[in-house]
Amino acid sequence: MGSRLVGRTSKKDYHFPESDFEPQKFEQLIEMFSILGDIIVFPWLPRAEMLAIAHKLRRKIIAGEANLDLCRQAIAHSGLTVEKLINSPKVS
C-alpha cells in the first residue's frame, strides 16, 4: 500500500492516495490547514517534492520511516542533520 496524505477537519478525515499527488494541490492543503512555523507530521517518509513545498512554506517537518536506509538517504540528500530524540534500545 502506498503512502497517502491525510487531512483532518473537525468532522472528517480526508485521505489522498499517493498516486493522486499534485504539488499545487498539496501546497494549497498546507496553506489551508497550517500557518507559518507550524509542524507537519508525516508518519512515513514523504516524497522530496512534499518536503520542498513544506520547507518553502516555512513549516517544520517531522517524518517517520521504518526503513533506516531510506531515512539515511533522505538525510544525506537534504543536507540536514540528525537530532536524537530518544535513547536507542540496548541490544544484548
In a domain, 84, yes or no: no
Q: Which pLDDT does position 16 carry in this prediction? A: 63
Question: Pairing relation of β-strands 4-8 and 13-17?
Answer: antiparallel
In a domain, 25, yes or no: yes
Q: Which pLDDT does position 13 carry in this prediction? A: 59
How many domains, in total, are found in the chain? 1
Q: How far apart are the first and last CA of the chain?
A: 34
In a domain, 10, yes or no: yes
Q: Which pLDDT does position 2 carry in this prediction? A: 43
| All cell numbers assigned to 39 | 509542524
Taking only the tens of pLDDT, the chain with its 92 residues reads 344 444 554 555 556 676 778 889 989 999 999 999 999 888 888 887 888 888 899 999 888 888 888 888 877 777 777 777 777 667 66
Q: Between vectors from CA 83 to CA 34 and to CA 72, what angle results, nearest 5°?
A: 95
Query: What is the domain range of residue 46?
Result: 4-78
